[in-house]
Each structure stands twice: as C-alpha cells, then as structure tokens.
Amino acid sequence: MGAGSGVRNFFSRDSIPTKKVPGICGTKYPLSILFIIVNEFCERFSYYGMKAVLTLYFVNYLHWSENRSTTIYHAFSGLCYFTPLIGAPIADAWLGKFNTIFYLSILYVFGHVIKSVGAIPDIGNSELHVVLSMIGLIAIAFGTGGIKPCVSAFGGDQFDEEHVKERGKFFSIFYMSINAGSLISTLVTPILRGGVQCFGQDCYALAFGVPAGLMFVALIVFVSGSGMYKKYPPQGNILAQVFKCIGFALKNRWRHRAKQFPKRGHWLDWASESYSKKLITEVKMVTKVLFLYIPLPMFWALFDQQGSRWTLQATRMNADFGSFVMQPDQIQVMNPLLILILVPVFDLGIYPLVRLCKINFHPIAKMAIGMLLAALAFAVATVVEIKINETNPLVPKPGEATVQILNFAGQDATVQIPNNSPFTRPSLIGGDFQDPNYKKINVTGTTNVNVEIGTQSISCSGIREDKTFSLLVDRHADSSLYCRTVS
C-alpha cells in the first residue's frame, strides 16, 4: 500500500456506496475482487518481467558500463517508489481510486510500448534508443507508482464493513498474486531475451513486448469489472490532513511553552483546538508505527540490488545445473519463489509450533530476525564477489589496457605493442588453458598489436585505452596467420 491510501486504513470512510455487489458462489467475497486480483497479477508480471532484464539491456544493448547501468536502474526504481506520493493524493483528493488506476494504467501501457520500440535495433540509431528507453521508463515509473497506492486499497473498498475476515483473506490472496506474477515473469522474460534470437542478437524487444502485452491485458481486465466496483468519491487528501494536524500540534505546543496550562497526555493533544478528537486519536496510531519504517529504506536499497549488482554478479558465475542452465537475470526468481513456499510453511507450520511452545514471537521479532538473515545473505554475496574477483583480469586504469594473448598458432609468439616492452606468449596447443595470461599495457587512445611467430608477423587492431581484451592468434588452413580481438 502506498502513502495516502495506505494511511487511510487508519481512518474511517465518510461515504459508503450502497451498491450491492454479487458474491463469489454465494460467499461474502464480492465478484469484483476477481478482476482486481487478475489485474494485479498481470501488472506485476509486466513490471517485474521488464525490470528483470533491464540491467542486462543497459549493459549489452545500450553498451553502458556496469556502474552507469546500476545507477540508472536504481534511479528508475527510486522513481517508481517516489511517485506513489503523487498518485495517492491524486486519488484521495481529485480523481478517486478507480479513475486514478484507469488513467495512469494507460500511461503505464504507453511507457511499456515505447520501451519495447526502443529495443528494436532497426529503428533509428543508438541515441534514439536511449531517448525512447528513458521516455518509456519515466512513463512506467509514473504509471506503476501512481496506481501502486490505489489498487490494494481499492480492493479493500469492495468489502462491507462487517466482512473484516474476508477482507483480510483478500489481502493475503492479493499479496500472493503479486508474487505469482513476479515469479512467472522473472522466469519467462529472461528466456525470451536469451532463448530467442531476433535481429541477430538477444531479443530484448520481445522481452519488453510481452510485459507490455500483459499490462494491456491488466488494463482491459480492470475496466471489464467497472460495473461491479464500489467507487468511493474523493474525500480529500488524508495525508495532508495528517501533516497539518501534526504541524498544528507542534506549533501550538511551542506557542504556549512559557504559559501555565493543564498538562496534556500526548503532544498531539495540542491539536484539539482545531481538529477532532477522532482524527487526533487516529494520527497517534499512525505515529506509533512510524519508527518501524526507519530501517526499511536501508533494507530496500540493498534488497533491490537483486536486479542490478546481483544480476551482474550472476553473469560471471557458472549457472549450469546439468538439465537446466539459469540465465543471469533469472537469479531474481528466488525471491518470489521462496515467498510462495515459505509463507504457508511459516503460517501453517512453524508459527503454530512456536505458539504451542508458549513463545511470544511478535511481529517486531519476526522483522528483526528477517533483517539479520538479509544481512547474512549480503555477507555471503560479498564473499562470492571476492572469490569471483580473484579470477577476473586486472582492471585497467586510464592510459592502460589489459590484454590476454591466446596463441593457438603452434609456436611461441613475440608480442610488440608501441610504448611497451616486447614479451612472448607460448602456444596453448597442448598447454595450460587455465592460465589467463592477462597483462597490463600502456595505451593512449587506440593502438595495434604486432605478433611475430617464426618468420611470419601480423598486425592486430582494436586495442583501446581503459578496456580489457582477449587477442586470439591462429592459423588458416594454408598456415597463414590471422587474429581476432574481443573486448
């Protein structure tokens, strides 16, 4: 739940629609929630499916550095979690939840389409691809962020006040649909990217296009249930009322700091001159839980690295499990998969056993243990990264390059590079293929490498400053030399 509509759970609603919505198979669950759950499944599929391949798209398609790709990825994620602060007030004070979801879902679809078009190599040049990608991502961020605080609250609105138990189960099913959409999308879209070739390379256009199609389906499904929804009218920006109440209490208390007044039980009681006792009581409820949110920004900043640094880490790991080869961007599938498995295991098995042992395992303790386990996970990832870096080539600095000579010509090779001392590389035929033989060289701009083997020599081009290269030297069938440079 997002900012404004999420806080609204603490406050009573002023206007209750009288519309009677049919139940599912005669139950107290309104039929309208099916449309909302399917809509959320498709929307989460589109979001997580697109996001799963996003970092590799930056690195391999737009040819950005890993640092730049990570920065843009997290800037996009940050924007997605900032825009609910815009979407929630729009829903609360202006359009209402239904209209906000509808209009911003159209923007959402538009962003996906633009993003998919930007991944088609035959359309324009690299600069146009970057422009289209950024426009698409910004539209997606405002679309998903705008509807994020509204959809779950809109689903809760469909229940009558006395159906508290049914509403609680709805939120559990709603949460499961989020993780089901995430699980399937993070499994499927990397296969569409790497398992399908289009335009002679990985098919990012298809990997983005399928989530775009699912978001369009989400919009159609949501609109299809329009006639069944309970649509509450906008009731004002409740978040603004909360801040105004808090601000007035602080200002009023400061204004009367030097005067003798009867003591008030809580600092928020100083707002009683302008705000109702009911509102003040409910604001107190909100402020009590705010301290729980202090560590959450740090947690989510680390957690979101699954789609950036952890994905890039997976590209340098062996993911061959015999019958199944995991794509680097499929590493994120573990989160929704474990949620779908462990939530029922804990709720139906572990927690009841803990209660039988008379242990008071309250939510704060659960959160603390979860964060400790998350910290341990990042410690493990750190050790893995250290071990991976031990096998990596030397990192070149400005004015340098790192070159690996792979000599398959059958004789020792003498390598000459301008502004560097000559060195030799033995033939790898029958030799040790495990030795990477990386060597740092001095390079300014672009230079050629001259390789002499016996009486023959060949000049290999493409060695550039601040890059790492593998230079393969071999012979044609007529024994003439040839070389290839791979960065």
Query: pLDDT, tens digit, for every residue of 234-269?
Result: 887 788 888 888 898 888 888 877 666 667 778 888
Instruction: Tokens for 401, please give them.
Output: 């390059």
Cβ neighbours around 467 below 10 Å, total: 15
Confidence bin at 12 (pLDDT 50/70/90): very low
**Residues 460-476: tens digit of each pLDDT:** 877 777 777 777 888 88
Q: pLDDT at position 260, please?
A: 62
CA pair distance 172, 269, nearest whole angstrom: 36
Q: What tens digit of pLDDT does each residue of 124-142 get?
A: 888 999 999 999 999 999 9
Does residue 23 surpass a pLDDT of 80?
A: no
17 pLDDT tier (thresholds 50, 70, 90): low
Given a cut of 80, whether residue 215 has pLDDT beyond it is yes
Question: Which segment, 10-24, 43-57, 303-317, is predicted with the most confidence on average?
Answer: 43-57
How would you write 9-50 as a 3-class SS string? HHCCCCCCCCCCCCEHHHCCCECHHHHHHHHHHHHHHHHHHH
Region 316-333: mean pLDDT is 85
Could you tell me the residue ranges of all domains in the chain? Answer: 3-238+280-361, 400-486
Please, which pLDDT band fits residue 114 given cuts at 50, 70 and 90? very high
* pLDDT score, position 393: 64
Q: What is the mean pLDDT of residues 402-416?
A: 81
Q: What is the percent of the chain where pLDDT is above 70?
A: 90
Contact 52, 211 (CB under 8 A): no
Summarised one tens digit per residue, pLDDT across range 54-88 is: 999 999 899 898 899 999 999 999 999 999 989 98
Residue-wise pLDDT tens digits, 153-199: 999 889 888 888 888 888 888 999 999 999 999 999 999 998 888 88
pLDDT of residue 10: 38
Tell me what pLDDT residue 11 has: 40
What's residue 27's pLDDT? Answer: 74
Is a pLDDT exceeding 90 seen at residue 35?
yes
Mean per-residue pLDDT, 312-341: 86
The answer to whether 233 touches 96, Cβ cutoff 8 Å, is: yes
Q: Of 3.30.70, 3.40.50, 2.60.40, 3.30.420, which CATH number belongs to 400-486? A: 2.60.40
Model pLDDT, residue 436: 52
Q: Does residue 9 carry a pLDDT above 70? A: no
Equal CATH topology for 3-238+280-361 and 400-486? no
Closest CA to 410 of 326, 335, 473: 473
Is the pLDDT assigned to residue 26 strictly greater than 90?
Answer: no
What is the structure's pLDDT at 209?
A: 95
Q: pLDDT for 272-306, tens place per residue?
A: 888 888 888 888 888 888 877 888 888 888 888 88
Whether 144 contacts 45, CB under 8 Å: no
Half-sphere exposure of 64 (CA within 13 A, CB side): 21
For the domain spanning 3-238+280-361, the CATH number is: 1.20.1250.20
pLDDT at 128 (0 to 100): 92
Q: What is the mean pLDDT of residues 215-225?
A: 95
> What is the mean predicted confidence (pLDDT) over 199-217?
92
Is there a contact between 439 and 463 (Cβ–Cβ < 8 Å)? Answer: no
Q: Kindly report the average pLDDT of the chain as a whole number.
A: 84
Q: What is the pLDDT of residue 265?
A: 77
Confidence of residue 414 (pLDDT cuts 50, 70, 90): confident
Mean pLDDT of 376-388: 90
CA–centroid distance for 432 within its chain: 41
Task: Name every residue whose Cβ is closer than 8 Å to that of residue 147 and which is 6 or more positions away in sequence.
Answer: 43, 87, 100, 101, 104, 105, 108
